[in-house]
Amino acid sequence: MKKNSDKNNESIRLNDSSDEFNLSVNENIDNIMDINNINDDNDDDIMDCCENEELEKKIDSTNMDVSDSFYNLEFNELYYDNDIEVEHMEEMENDISNRTLREKLHEWAINNIFTLKNSVISELLVILREEGHSELPKTAETLLRTKQCAFDAKVMKSGRGNNGVYTYFDIEKALNKMIASSEFEDNEEETVNILVNVDGVPLYKNSSQQFWPILIQIIDNNYTCTPGVVALYWGDSKPSSVDEFMDDFIEEARKLREGFQCNDHNYSFNILGFTCDTPARAYLKCCKGHGGFYACERCEVKGKTIKGRRNYIEMNCKLRTKTSFIEKTQAEHHQPNIVSPLTKLPNFDPVKQVFLESMHLLYQGVMKMIISMFIEPGNNNKLSKNNRNDLKVELSRMSAGIPVEFERKTFDLDNFGYWKATQFRFFAGYIAPFIFKKYVSIEKYQHLMLFLVSTRILNSKPLVEKYHAFAREYLRLFFELTPHVYGPGTQVMNFHNLIHVTDDVLEMKAPLSTFSAFPFENCLGKIKKLIRSSKNPLAQVTRRLHEIQELNNSLVTRNILKNQCLRITTREWKISQNDYEESSQIKLGNLVIKNKEPDNIVMLESGKFFEITNIYLDTGSMLVAGTIMRLSLRNKLFTILGQYWIPMLSQH
């Protein structure tokens, strides 16, 4: 262990490592970006974006306001997988001694609701009653209060003309559940801002049966909020009439503009926007889908068919506005004889507030298509067989170095079509910037970096506030050069939408990660897991949701950590067992720090990296011991956004 006599104690920067993701920016826009060389004379190698005079002229001409008030909300930025939950150290421990056996069983059953059938719970209750616990109910339905569940369902036609079933749960009830069962009721904000998601989820393999729920999520700078279900449709396709499907939601949303009350506290209600994939947006807005000639939701570009694909080449077409949308000034963009129900929402802009959702656009859209052009057969951009094999080996080796916060650690290129959105996001954010440099041409690599740099900027709060204008210009250049790099027929809708996606950041005054569909996709997966048989899945899910609500588990958790004393030392000294207890890991909010690779490297406030070898705990304080890492120029991949390469010692 190396000693540091100048400074033995520093505080750890406990923010997401993705905030330090670092990609350098080119000083010459004509050459796209020069990110291949690091200045040997400057160990920090920080290239100031503001020195890019040519790009500055382009940005100045857009007259964007980059004022100190750019952010009216400080959103919690996490770049981790949404399908895992990391334990919070600061959570209050339940006073188990004061809880009855019935209460413990109730919580146990709900915590395992995705795997436990009611028949199994009932069998356990019978056994416990035989062992003397006569105070327990005989059935799971009584324990979970299932019989108290009552809901109204009505028949609603599907797009195929068959009968489906729809039930509405109520926005205000969902908000009261979120607020009343959490610390949110202590929030000083008087406005509850929500995001809305509408999407379809297939229920079974080899079946057309599907759910179409309406989900809402509270967006607040101090809280992380789990989405809630306010309506649910079950049928063999989406509902035939979007007006009928959205009518209850629209009507209640209009009433809630007058405010609502929860726990004697008055709140106002505001819909920030809808975050949906492209087909769902077209359904809600009653406009042409992504294959139409006039399908762009933001401008009046006319598509062209090139190599069997609809391409949207023009970049400076007239922009759509709320007025032009409502008045249908470009009739070809709209479905005939129908008006979007979103136009009935007060103070709502169906153009700006229906977002170009980043999960489907950036990751499952553009990133997936780029990988396909490098990997799939029959493509002129395909990598050689040797390069593909080498790439697979590197990806396999890298999996061991991925921290615990990321659940999906494998990247099988042969089956990339089955990757989850979180895998594409991780690949774009952490792997693609340096792994492709070895295997693709300089032209393709520099072109790819335009997309990756912009994606990282637009998903990072500190970066997007400073560099959102650069991201806009980089994405425009990426789109413009795409047919020159990959060939004609590649300027499809997902690529075209890149020139508009920065507008969503400016509208929300927040990074794209704040209003992505990741939390909603996670919620859809959980809804599907509540189905236990093929008989009447809507009734099953409705009962399970009622059972979960009866437990009063919080759907809102506070982001702000309680003060924790965390000290580090580089000294080689022995800790008295009476003073500290040695531990293998500590958890701080969403961060897990361990004393073993790959979860033992942290960045200090000084910008140095610290390798943790020992962790010691005491009442109210924590101490980590280790050594300052000496990084060479080889370790500094890209510096202005903070990405570094640190080899695992176990692999050397």
Q: Which residue has the higher pLDDT, 569 or 498?
A: 498
Amino acid, res. 308? G
pLDDT-based confidence at residue 609 (cuts at 50, 70, 90):
confident
Distance CA 76, CA 513 (A): 9
Query: What is the pLDDT, as a whole number, of residue 574?
Result: 59
| Residues 268, 407 share a domain | no
Distance CA 533, CA 529 (A): 10
| Residues 550, 498 share a domain | no
Residue 395 domain-assigned (yes or no): yes
| Residues 534, 497 share a domain | no
| Residues 266, 297 share a domain | no
State the DSSP H helix or E strand holding residue 523, giving kind and residue range, or none if neither. Answer: helix 518-529
Structure tokens, 129: 């009653």
Query: What is the pLDDT, as a whole number, of residue 99?
Result: 78
Q: 117-131, 233-247, 512-526: lowest mean pLDDT where?
A: 117-131
Distance CA 340, CA 198 (A): 14
pLDDT, tens digit, 9 for 90 and up, residues 40-85: 333 333 233 333 444 444 444 443 333 333 333 333 333 334 333 3
| Residues 478, 378 share a domain | yes
Q: Which of 147, 180, 212 is the last residue of a domain?
A: 147
Residue 322 domain-assigned (yes or no): yes
Residue 613 domain-assigned (yes or no): no
CA triple 114-115-119, angle to 5 deg? 110
State the DSSP H helix or E strand holding residue 194, giving kind and residue range, or none if neither. Answer: strand 191-198
The DSSP annotation for 270-305 comes to EEEEEEE-HHHHHHHHTB--TTSTT--SSB-PPPEE
Residues 492 and 289 sit within 8 Å (Cβ to Cβ): no
| Residues 188, 129 share a domain | no
The parent domain of residue 329 ranges over 287-337
Residue 488 domain-assigned (yes or no): yes
Residue 594 domain-assigned (yes or no): no
Residue 581 domain-assigned (yes or no): no
pLDDT, tens digit, 9 for 90 and up, residues 450-499: 999 999 999 998 889 999 999 999 999 999 999 999 999 999 999 999 99
Residues 383 and 374 sit within 8 Å (Cβ to Cβ): yes
Query: What is the pLDDT, as a whole number, of residue 649?
Result: 54
Residues 429 and 21 sit within 8 Å (Cβ to Cβ): yes
The number of beta carbons lying within 10 Å of the beta carbon of residue 361 is 26
| Peptide linkage before 336 cis (omega within 30 of 0) | no
- How far, in Å, are 88, 93, 103 from residue 96 at the CA level? 18, 8, 10
E strands, 393-446, in order: none
| Residues 509, 365 share a domain | yes
Q: 2-16, 160-174, 309-323, 337-351: lowest mean pLDDT where?
A: 2-16
Mean pLDDT for the chain overall: 80
Q: 302-311, 470-479, 572-581: lowest mean pLDDT where?
A: 572-581
| Residues 486, 377 share a domain | yes
| Residues 198, 130 share a domain | no
| Residues 506, 424 share a domain | yes
3-state helix, strand, coil in the chain (%, to 5): 40, 20, 45
Q: 11-20, 116-125, 578-587: lowest mean pLDDT where?
A: 11-20
- What average pLDDT does this structure show over 424-444? 91
Which single residue is written with the structure tokens 């101090």? 222
Residue 583 domain-assigned (yes or no): no
| Residues 257, 162 share a domain | yes
Residue 599 domain-assigned (yes or no): no
pLDDT, tens digit, 9 for 90 and up, residues 1-20: 333 333 333 333 333 333 33
Residue 493 main-chain phi, psi, to 5 deg: -60, -45
Distance CA 369, CA 376 (A): 10
pTM above 0.75, yes or no: yes
Residues 602 and 405 sit within 8 Å (Cβ to Cβ): no
Q: Which residue has the higher pLDDT, 572 or 175?
A: 175
Q: Which of 536, 558, 580 is the last residue of a domain?
A: 558
Query: What is the pLDDT, as a whole number, of residue 6?
Result: 39
pLDDT-based confidence at residue 632 (cuts at 50, 70, 90):
low
Domain count, the chain: 4
| Residues 222, 246 share a domain | yes
Query: What is the pLDDT, as a whole number, of residue 652?
Result: 44
